[in-house]
């Protein structure tokens, strides 16, 4: 297939991505429902209030060779405790051979985990991020039982490094240098990077440029080098979402190995 014609691909520098997503923090702030973000937001006055993100990931499985550098980048970015994987590369065998399926959090639009949380410790932002307030979580682990993707992980023991290295306001969109015992954690689509207009760590960490990230409302995704029009990809390619039949409406699309 001549996929260059099917995809509207053009080069895009990081600076350009920054400009695209620079409004994200402002948009989150405009949402206003998440006070801690509001407190950190720069000049909300200049924002157009209607601007909402719809964060979306697109993973090209044909490019993924299972090197797991995305796992490494994620681990480094979030200081992920030993034995946990926020992003996990599954190895699957099909009739056509072995292939790899990187599995971040799906940030479902209809998240089963958010539904069952008794204390609203996990929630979905208006920009479509499913986040966890670690200062709220009571550690009942119901969300772990409810997640069909095995995304969520629990801090069973004293985390390493120990509890807060630095004092910061309780902010689920904060990057994770520290971890707390007895709470659930997971991939957060690098919400702290999105605020700064940067791509998630796994996207930057992928040497095969297999992971694209962007905003469905702006109709683009980028792997840091090339920018795709998301609607074109979705309409012209056989994309799929993991366990789509469950009705969870994941925000992660996959381009299959064979198309």
Partner 1 sequence: MAKIVVTRVEKTVMLPLVRPGRWYWAIVGVLAAIVVWAAYAYTVQLQEGLVVTAMRDRISWGLYVSTFVFFIGISHAGTLVSAILRVTNAEWRKPITRLAEAITVFALIIGASMVIIDLGRPDRLQFIVQFGRIESPILWDFISISFYLTGSLLYLYLPLIPDLATLRDKMPARARFRRWLYTRLAARWQGLPEQRRRLERSLGAMAILIIPVAVSVHTVVSWIFGMTLRVGWHSTILGPYFVVGAIFSGIATLIIVMAAVRKLFHLEGIIKPIHFRNLGLMLLALDIVLLYFTLSEYLTASYPGETQDVAWLTLLGSGQFAPMFWWMVIGGFIVPAVFVAVTKAKSVPAVVIAAILVNIGMWIERYLIVVPTMATPQTPSVIAPYWPSWVEWSILAGAVAAFGLLLLAFCRFFPVISMWEVAEKAPTPLSEPSPIPEPPTAEVVD
- Which of 158, 168, 177, 259 binds partner 1 (CB under 8 A)? It is 158
Structural tokens at position 43 = 């000049």
Give me the half-sphere count of Cα atoms (radius 13 Å) on the Cβ side of residue 183. 20
d(CA 53, CA 27): 7
Binding status of residue 130 toward partner 1 by CB under 8 A = no
Binding part of the chain for partner 1, among 1-9, 28-36, 176-184, 216-224 by CB under 8 A, reads 176-184
Place of tokens 């791509």: 199
Query: Is the dihedral angle over the CA atoms 11, 221, 126, 121 positive or is it negative?
Result: negative
20 lines the binding site for partner 1 (CB under 8 A): no
How do strand 130-132 and strand 122-124 relate by DSSP bridges? antiparallel
Q: Of 54-62, 175-183, 222-230, 251-259, which part binds partner 1 (CB under 8 A)?
A: 175-183
Q: Is 30 in the site for partner 1 (CB under 8 A)?
A: no
Q: What would you report as the CA-atom Rg of the chain, rounded to the nearest whole angstrom?
A: 18
Residue 183 engages partner 1 in binding (rule: CB under 8 A)? yes
Q: Which is nearer to partner 1, 15 or 83 (CB)?
A: 83
Helix (H) or strand (E) holding 28: helix 23-31
Binding mask 70-99 for partner 1 (x = CB under 8 A): --------------x---x-xxx-------
Rounded to a whole number of angstroms, the minimum distance from the CB of residue 145 to partner 1 is 6
Closest-CA residue to 23 (of 60, 51, 58): 51
Binding site for partner 1 (CB under 8 A): 84, 88, 90-92, 101, 103, 112, 115-121, 136-142, 144-146, 148-150, 152-158, 181-184, 246, 248
């Amino acid at each position: 297939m001549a996929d260059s014609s099917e995809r509207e691909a053009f080069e895009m520098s990081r600076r350009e991505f920054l400009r695209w997503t620079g409004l994200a923090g402002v948009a989150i702030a405009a949402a206003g429902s998440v006070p801690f973000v509001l407190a950190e937001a720069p000049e909300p006055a200049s924002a157009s209030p209607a601007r909402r993100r719809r964060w979306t990931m697109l993973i090209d499985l044909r490019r993924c060779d299972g090197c797991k550098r995305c796992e490494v980048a994620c681990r480094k970015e979030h200081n992920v405790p030993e034995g946990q994987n926020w992003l996990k590369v599954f190895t699957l065998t099909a009739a056509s051979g072995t292939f790899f399926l990187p599995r971040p959090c799906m940030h479902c639009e209809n998240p089963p985990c958010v539904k069952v949380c008794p204390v609203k410790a996990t929630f979905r932002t208006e920009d479509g991020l499913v986040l966890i307030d670690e200062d709220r979580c009571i550690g009942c682990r119901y969300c772990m039982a409810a997640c069909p993707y095995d995304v969520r992980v629990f801090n069973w023991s004293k985390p390493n490094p120990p509890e807060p290295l630095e004092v910061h306001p309780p902010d689920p969109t904060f990057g994770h240098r520290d971890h707390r015992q007895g709470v659930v954690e997971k991939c957060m689509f690098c919400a702290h990077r999105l605020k700064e207009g940067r791509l998630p760590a796994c996207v930057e960490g992928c040497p095969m440029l297999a992971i694209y990230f962007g905003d469905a409302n702006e109709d683009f995704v980028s792997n840091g080098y090339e920018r795709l029009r998301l609607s074109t990809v979705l309409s012209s390619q056989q994309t799929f979402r993991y366990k789509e039949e469950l009705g969870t409406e994941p925000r992660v699309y996959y381009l299959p190995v064979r198309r």
